[in-house]
């Protein structure tokens, strides 16, 4: 079993839909990261959170430390949101990341 599990693996949505991507982890963490990887490969860090909830534009990330679960929500989805979203748990003495396998999101116009 992976230490960081994401679901779903693939997600297709219509433009405007509300999207949720889930992440569960089994390790102790100092922080949970949500990353976005575009087809070209470059990665953008969306959120780093250790408790509660963060919001940036149409993106919302939540974490429940007790349940070891985090969610990434996208409101009013748009085709430009199409990307792979990766959940990563930060732990260890140097804070290196343990990555989930990613969720490939495709938003259709």
Partner 1 sequence: GAVVSQHPSWVICKSGTSVKIECRSLDFQATTMFWYRQFPKQSLMLMATSNEGSKATYEQGVEKDKFLINHASLTLSTLTVTSAHPEDSSFYICSARDRLALGELFFGEGSRLTVL
Q: Which phi and psi angles does 80 have, rounded to 5°?
A: -70, -10
Could you say whether residue 48 binds partner 1 (CB under 8 A)? yes
Using only C-alpha atoms, the chain has a radius of gyration, in whole angstroms, of 13
Q: In what order do the strands lie in the sheet with 69-74?
A: 4-7, 19-25, 69-74, 59-64, 52-56
39 is a contact residue toward partner 1 (CB under 8 A): no
Q: Judged by CB, which is closer to partner 1: 14, or 50?
A: 50
42 is a site residue for partner 1 (CB under 8 A): yes
Assess contact for 11 and 107: CB atoms under 8 A. no
Tell me the closest approach of the beta carbon of residue 77 to partner 1, in angstroms: 23
Site residues for partner 1, window 75-104 (CB under 8 A)?
86, 90, 94-97, 99-102
Number of residues located near partner 1, criterion CB under 8 A: 21
């Amino acid at each position: 079993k992976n230490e960081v599990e994401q679901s779903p693996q693939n997600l297709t949505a219509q433009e405007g839909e509300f999207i949720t991507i889930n992440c569960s982890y089994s390790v102790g963490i100092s922080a949970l990261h949500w990353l976005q990887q575009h087809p070209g490969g470059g990665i953008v860090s969306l959120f780093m959170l250790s408790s509660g909830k963060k919001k940036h534009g149409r993106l919302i990330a939540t974490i429940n430390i007790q349940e070891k679960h985090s969610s990434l929500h996208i409101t009013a989805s748009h085709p430009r949101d199409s990307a792979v979203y990766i959940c990563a748990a930060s732990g260890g003495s140097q804070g290196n990341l343990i990555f989930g396998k990613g969720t490939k999101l495709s938003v259709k116009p």
